[in-house]
Each structure stands twice: as structure tokens, then as C-alpha cells.
Amino acid sequence: MRLEVCLLLLMCLSWPAAAQQLDRKPEGESDRQAEWQMDGQQAQDPNRPLQPVPAGDGNTASVYAYWADRVVQIQVVDLQSQSKSGIGSGFIAGQPGWVVSNYHVIAELANQPGQYEAKYLTEDGRSGRLQLLAVDVVHDLAVLLAEGLETQPLALSSAAPPKGTRLYSLGYPYDIGLTIVEGTYNGLLEKSLYEKLHFTGSINPGMSGGPALNPAGEVVGINVSTAGNQVSFLVPSGFVARLIADTTGQAPDQDALNAMITRQLQHNQQRISETLLASTEPVTTLDGYTVPGALADYINCWGNSQQDWRDDLSQVYYRCQTQDDIFLSGALYTGVIRYQHDLLSTENLHPLRFYRQLEQRSVYPQLRLDGDEQSVTNYQCQTGFLDESGLVFKSTFCVRRYLNFTGLYDSYLTLTSLNEQQAALQSTLVLAGFSWANTERLGTRFISSIRQGAK
Amino acid sequence: MNTELNVGANVAADTGMTGAGTQRQDSDRRGILEVFNRSGLLLQRLRWAGERVTVGRAYDNDVIVSDPYVCPHHFELRIESGQPRVHDLGSVNGTYLGSSRQRIQSADLDEGQVIQFGHSQMRLLQDGGALAPTWLDSSRHGLLAMLSKSWVLLLAVLSALAVLAVDSLLDNAAPPKVLTLLLDMFYPLLLVLAWSGMWALINRIVAHRSNFHVHLTIALLGVTVEFLTTQAVQLVVFAWDWNAALGWASWVASSAVLFAVLYAHMRYALHGSARRQIWVAAVMSLFLFGVPAAAGFIDRNNFSSLPQLAPLLRPPQYRQVDGQNAAEFFQRAENLKSRLDEAAQEVRGHRED
């Protein structure tokens, strides 16, 4: 279950395009970055009083009046039908004529540049072509070059505002014209793999990529997703600053774009794997078995048990998953970890009947990943007995490869313990977008941390 | 039911059939007459020894045909200058030769040529052809004769019910209930009945006996043996961890069972040599299991976003081999990696085309 709902209306399929490696420090401070830092300096001291809106009294109307011209609508146009296939929002940042938006808004352009083009439309009726300059798929960001748009950039806030600060989110919801939405800033989202800000304002489809401004008119975050009922999420503007600093102004070709995205995904999976492998093994007990528990704070776990009133089978389960994912195309989300443990037992069933039940449960994958023919290969599987920590499992390991991002794999590891006549543990680990080495390391760790007997 | 037809007995000798074969002259016989109904079923076979044969529905004919479309005196056959000829006797529905739609008054009749009259047919054959060996009645000889015994049927019924019950028990986690059991057995048994009925029908058409109980015995034994072999194959595959062999081993086992079943049905239902039936049964069973297997093979590269999981699970005590440790398990998975690289290479190749 994905917590968030992407804001973009009509998303299409396919594979992605690119940005620069995230942890890389910008080589020297460009004028652009200096400019951004200058703009940001005012907000750096969290104790300083908030700057009033330059145009007036800080109310919504004046925020709108003062900054609306820096927010554009982005349309992704299908070249064959000559009509828009997706819409979103964007804003000028970094340099005059540079538009920042969400990666998911322009993913089609990155994936199939021959089939789509992107254009901007301003509130006062100007429009022009957009060219992709850089992307950051991990934080769902993109920088585009807007032809013929000379509007000055919005400043980026460099520090998080105090919780409760009023923010103004702008964008073009449902293609009904530029809209401003008021809400409050509620801090960083906890238990999140990819930093996000919690904003209580109604962000709606089409507003993706639009800015959320503080009363001083600085961009605090970028509209990215919503969980409904005024629970919305923003990408912190710090990531925009980093991406802008790494953007050269040269449009990359398709291979360069894929290489850029691959680097970002590789770096991201390495970061996740290292934190997971470095953590002490948090375990939980499941009716006599010790199994991997919530391995990190961004992994959310819940469990329950049930006794089938008709069948002589009881089930205790424990399910964990990361709360976020990385959008690569309408058919491919990555950067996900899911695992679950099901302890099944019976009072009276003959072992042959009991294991037949387990077999039937194993045929259909309990955890699923997206993916289409354009983005991944078919799964290849192997199965066999596994003997680890004194426990014997029947194990199936399936793995598939990303077609456009070399060295990244989705994997599906499922284990059924063969230890008792009338009880068995079925554990499954799903990793999306990990390197082969990390898939192996995380898989080995997962297997070896399952033990019989309480901790 | 072959009868000697001896009308106008000695006239034949005087006509001096010089052109005809010596055999006919020697034996003073014109040949064998065969009468068929419309669907080709042989009704009578009689020897023609005299000069003239009358055919019709009336009781004073030499050949009496009880076909309502045939006239009391429909046509007659005569030898004229050594040549058999057909003469229509003014019939209402006419007399025709071969597949011709042309009504005849009189015409020469050639060896083997079919006379169409009413809804019946007649032809003249020379006798003296080689006889095929007497067919063995499967129900009276060899191992297959066992299948027609009632205690075998009883055994087949009991064993099939037993395996269906076991299968139902294995499939359900609920405590056994008679109703569940009956419902689970209903469709397999219905299928068995329909299958046996089909073979009984074939048997009836070909050999005029339905042998339903035999076909039922064969089908029920087939169900039992199929269940037992499948379970045995799966158990062996599980015990020795031969997962890669599961596909073809199940395929071979099922094909073999189907082959035996088809062969047994054919021995009872059809005429013909055992060797030919073995061939037909082999081809049919390969075809029935081969087509889905081939379709699966062709389909193997079709994209699916789901992994194909089908682990065999049996209670721990059936395991006969040790497991690998995690490191060895993932070491083995390097094979998957190279297969994935090949698959990705293939896709890239397609894209560039």
C-alpha cells in the first residue's frame, strides 16, 4: 500500500532520465549558487523574525500578487496526437528561464523524448518549449530550460521554518488555472526514507512541482504528493538547491540521462543498504521464532493474528515496508523494501495436509512490485533447501534486472521453514532497485537473522 | 449371415461366360453381393450363383431389402454375354450407379461398383480374396480381459474414490465433511463418466457393443494411477531437491498414464492392429500434453511482472538431502545473474532493430 498518491493527473509509462550524483559537492561555488545562498541567508537564523512579504502585509492575496508570475503550468504533449498527456506545475529557480518541477511530471519526456515534448504556460498567457537539463529521481525533482522565459527566479529558503509557520502552495490543480493554497508547515516527515516536509494544505493533482512559499516568498518545499484530507508532502528546497548547483545548462542526451539516474539510484541503494547492514539486528519474536523486526525507523511494521473459524489453521503475521518509493515511470517504482513473516500452525491437521496448505499459499506472490516490459526483464528463479542457523528452509529466490539502469535488480526471496510437523514460518523479502552485492548481503542477513527460540 | 443364392441354378453354365475369370467359370459363381444401409453398415452378404437376381421389398425376391424407399420389385441383376448388368424394374425412386445422379434403365455393372437404390446400396465383389486373420477379442484374451471383470470395476471404483477423497482432504484445511468430499468428487467423477460414455459410444458405433463398464474401469484406474504417479514424482522431486526436473518428470508421468488409458480404450472400442493403436495412443497422448507444453515454451519469454513461484512443500521428514547455507545459495544464484544479462542483451538487441 503506497501511502502517497502522486499528484500528477494522467501519468504515462516508461523509463526515466537523469540528474547528478547527490552527495557530490558542487565544484566551486558558481554565481548561481552564491546567489541562491545570498537569498537564503535571511532565513538561516531560525530565531530571527520572519521577513514580511515585500509587497505588503503577508496575506494570501499579496503573496499571490507578488509571486504568481514565477509559477508556470507544465504540459507534457504527445507529439502524435498533439495533445497534452500530462500536466503539472513548476517555478522559476536558480537562473532566469530555469524551471524546477517534479521528475514525475516530466518523466515521459525523460523516458521517451522522441514521443513527447514539454511546454510551459504562464498565467498571463505566454508559452514555450521546455528542455530537460537535469533530474534527481530520488527526490523527484527536475530542472528544465524554458525557451523565451526571462522571469527572475524565486529564492530558495535554506533553513526549515518553525513548525506551524504558514505556507502558501501554488500550482495549477486539475488544469483549472493558477491557485494558491494556504496551510501550515508541520516539520520533516518522520519514518521516511526520502526526506519530505509535512504540509497541511490541500494539494491536488496538477499542482505537482509547484512551490510552497513562506511569508517571505522563499521556496520552502516543492509540492509532491498528498495522503488526502489536507495531509500533503513537500520536497525540501535544499535538494532543489543541490540539483541546481549541479546543473550545467547543457541538455544531456538519453545515455547521459540514464547514466545520471543510474548513479543516483546506485548511490541511494548503497546508502540504504549500509544503514541497514550497520544497524544492530532488531528482531521481533513470532510464536517461538525470532525474525527481523523494524530494521530502521523508516520501515513501518505492523502485525496481527487470526484463527480461521472454519479451517484448522492459525496465522500470526508481521509485515514491514518502507513508506516511500522512487518514481521512475508510471509502471516502475523503486527504492522499496518490503518483508513479511507468517507463522502458520495447526492443531490437528496431518502434516501432509498442513504442508499442502503452505504449498497452496506459496504459489501467488504475497508482495508485489510494479514493472513493465520496457523497464525490467522477467524474473529468473532458483529454489532449493537452505540450511542456516540450525533451521532448514525451502527457499525460492527470484530476481530481475533493470533494463536501462545497469547493475540494479528487483528481488523476491521467500522461505518456508521445514522444522516442525504442524507449524511453519513463511518469510518473504522484497528489494526493489538494489545492486547484486547488496541484494545478496541483505538477503543473507535476512536469512541468518531468522532463528528458532525466543531471543 | 452369408447365404447361398441359388436361383435359376444351372442356367449360368450355358451362357458361356468366356470373358470372365476362370475362377468364376470353375465355381459357377458370379461373386458375392453385399447390401448396405445408407450409413454404410453391411446388412447382408450373399453368394450369387444363378443367372439372375431380383432385388426388392417383396417376399418373392432373391434379395429382400426392408427399406421403405425400395419398391417391391426394384431392379434385377443378369448375366448377359458374360457381363453382369443391372435392369431397373420400373422403380419409383430409381436405380443409380456409383455416385452418378443419372437414373438408369439398364447398365453394365463393374466389379466393386455400387448400386444406389432407395436408401440402400449394393455391390458385387469377386470372391476368392485373401481373408484377414480373425481378430482377437480383447475382452477374452490377455491382460486387457481383466478389465471386463466386475471385481476389477469394483476395485477401480473404490481406488478412484479413495484417491479423490485423499486429494480433497489435502486441498482443504477444514475438518473432513461428507458434503465437501462429495462436492470435490463431483466434477472429476462427472468427467470420468462423460469420458467413459464417449468411449462406449465409439465402441458401440464401431463394434456394436458399448462395453461401458470396461471403459469406466479404464477411466477410473487412470484417475487412480495418475494421482499416485503425480504424488510420487512430486515426493521424489521434493526429497532430493530436483526442482529443475519437476516440469519434465510430471510431463513424462502424465503422458505415460494417458497413453496407457488411451491404448486400453482403443483395444476395446476399435478394430485394428495393436501396433497401430500403440502409435495412435502415443501420438494422441504426446499431442494432448505436448501442445500445452509447447505453448508454455513459446510463452516463456512473455513478460510477467510476477515471479513464477511454485515451491513443492512436504513435511520435513521426507527431505533426503542437506540444504545449502545462505552463502552457497547466493553463490548458485550467480547463474541467474548471467541469464538476466543475456535477457537484457536480447531486449537491447530488439530495441536497436
Q: Please answer yes or no on whether A384 and B323 come within 8 Å at the CB atom.
A: yes
Provide CB contacts within 8 A for A181, sequence distance 6+: A168, A169, A170, A171, A201, A202, A203, A207
Residue B6 has pLDDT above 60, yes or no: no
Structure confidence at residue B7 (pLDDT): 40
The band of B4, judged by pLDDT with boundaries at 50, 70 and 90, is very low
Pairwise pLDDT comparison (B39 vs B109), residue with the higher score: B109
Query: What does pTM read for this prediction?
Result: 0.77
Least CB–CB distance from B241: residue in A379, A384, A447: A384
B-facing residues of A in 131-190 (CB < 8 A) are none
- Structure confidence by residue, pLDDT tens digits, B12-49: 333 333 333 444 444 456 788 999 987 788 888 888 88
CB atoms within 10 A of CB A27: 8
Query: What is chain B's length?
Result: 353
| A416 in B contact zone (CB under 8 Å) | yes
Check if the beta carbon of residue B321 is closer than 8 Å to that of residue B236. no
B160-182 mean pLDDT: 91
B208-234 mean pLDDT: 95
Percent of chain A with pLDDT over 70: 87
Position A387, amino acid? D
CA atoms B218, B220, B224, B227: torsion sign = positive
Residue B353 has pLDDT above 90, yes or no: no
Percent of chain B with pLDDT over 90: 54
CA atoms B198, B203, B209, B211: torsion sign = negative
How many alpha carbons fall within 13 Å on the CB side of residue B105?
A: 0
Check if the beta carbon of residue A235 is closer than 8 Å to that of residue A103. no
Q: Please give the Cα distance from A76 to A248 (Å, whole number).
A: 23
| Local structure of B258: helix, strand or coil | helix
Q: Please answer yes or no on whether B307 and A381 come within 8 Å at the CB atom.
A: yes
Q: Which candidate, A145, A7, A188, A203, places its Cα nearest to that of A87?
A: A7
| A309 in B contact zone (CB under 8 Å) | no
- Structure confidence by residue, pLDDT tens digits, B282-305: 999 988 888 888 888 887 778 888
- Chain B CA closest to residue A417: B316
Smallest CA–CA distance, residue B212 to chain A, in Å, is: 35
Which of A258, A342, A377 best tests the B interface by mutation, with the highest count of B CBs <10 A?
Answer: A377
A25-29 mean pLDDT: 31
ipTM computed for the complex: 0.79
- Chain A CA closest to residue B310: A363
Q: Please answer yes or no on whether B333 and A357 come within 8 Å at the CB atom.
A: no
Percent of chain B with pLDDT over 70: 90
Q: Which candidate, A38, A148, A50, places its Cα nearest to that of A94?
A: A38
Least CB–CB distance from B343: residue in A354, A364, A377: A377
* Bridge partners, A167 (sequence order): A183
Structure confidence at residue A269 (pLDDT): 94
Least CB–CB distance from A358: residue in B307, B313, B339: B313
| Local structure of B19: helix, strand or coil | coil
Average pLDDT, chain B: 86
Q: Which candidate, B73, B80, B51, places its Cα nearest to that of B117?
A: B73
Structure confidence at residue A454 (pLDDT): 54
Pairwise pLDDT comparison (A327 vs A310), residue with the higher score: A327
Cell numbers describing residue B143: 491382460
Q: Please answer yes or no on whether B344 and A403 come within 8 Å at the CB atom.
A: yes
Q: Please give the Cα distance from B85 to B83 (Å, whole number).
A: 6
Phi then psi for residue B260, to 5 deg, are -60, -40
Q: Which candidate, B113, B125, B120, B117, places its Cα nearest to that of B43?
A: B120
Q: Please answer yes or no on whether A394 and B172 come within 8 Å at the CB atom.
A: no
Structure confidence at residue A21 (pLDDT): 24
Which of A383, A386, A417 best tests the B interface by mutation, with the highest count of B CBs <10 A?
Answer: A383
| A255 in B contact zone (CB under 8 Å) | no
Residue B222 has pLDDT above 60, yes or no: yes
Residue A290 has pLDDT above 50, yes or no: yes
Structure confidence at residue A300 (pLDDT): 87
The band of B162, judged by pLDDT with boundaries at 50, 70 and 90, is very high
Provide CB contacts within 8 A for B160, sequence distance 6+: B189, B192, B220, B221, B223, B224
Check if the beta carbon of residue A352 is closer than 8 Å to that of residue B315. yes
Smallest CA–CA distance, residue B250 to chain A, in Å, is: 17
A-facing residues of B in 234-273 (CB < 8 A) are 241, 243
Chain B residues with CB-CB distance to A346 below 8 A: 173
Residue B56 has pLDDT above 90, yes or no: yes
Structure confidence at residue A57 (pLDDT): 52
Cell numbers describing residue B59: 417376399
Structure confidence at residue A48 (pLDDT): 34
- Structure confidence by residue, pLDDT tens digits, A175-186: 888 899 999 999
Position A188, amino acid? L
| B134 in A contact zone (CB under 8 Å) | no
Structure confidence at residue A378 (pLDDT): 92
- Structure confidence by residue, pLDDT tens digits, A127-167: 999 999 999 999 999 999 999 888 888 989 888 888 888 99
Residue A320 has pLDDT above 60, yes or no: yes
Pairwise pLDDT comparison (A444 vs B298), residue with the higher score: A444
